[in-house]
């Protein structure tokens, strides 16, 4: 019985950590848009990329579909945000 309870507790703890990380990524993208660092369409693409990446790491029924063209678009968006001096 203790093992089942411990497993349930660990699962809840993991879900809490995953949710915090999801919120942090979402907040960072939103903050970058609010500060004018990125444009709305770039923020939207980054949110889709974030959700897709999360879906690959934590598979669920509800996932964003993607194909090679979508991945290439996300790649181009990410690298276009790289600073000039980096």
**Per-residue pLDDT in tens (0 to 9) along the chain, 86 residues:** 578 888 888 888 877 777 776 678 888 899 989 999 889 998 998 888 888 777 666 666 666 677 788 878 878 888 887 765 54
Taking the mean position of all CA atoms in its chain, how far away is CA 11? 20
Give dist(CA 63, CA 85) in Å, integer: 36
Taking the mean position of all CA atoms in its chain, how far away is CA 28? 10
Please, are residues 62 and 52 in contact by the beta-carbon 8 Å criterion?
Answer: no
Could you give the count of Cα atoms lying within 13 Å of 71 in the half-sphere of its Cβ?
A: 7
């Amino acid at each position: 019985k203790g093992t089942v309870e411990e497993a349930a507790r660990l699962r809840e703890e993991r879900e809490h950590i995953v949710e915090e990380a999801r919120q942090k990524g979402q907040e960072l993208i939103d903050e970058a848009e609010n500060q004018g660092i990125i444009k709305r369409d770039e923020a939207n693409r980054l949110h889709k990329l974030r959700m897709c990446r999360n879906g690959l790491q934590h598979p669920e029924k509800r996932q964003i579909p993607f194909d090679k063209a979508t991945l290439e678009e996300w790649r181009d968006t990410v690298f276009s945000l790289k600073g000039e001096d980096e």
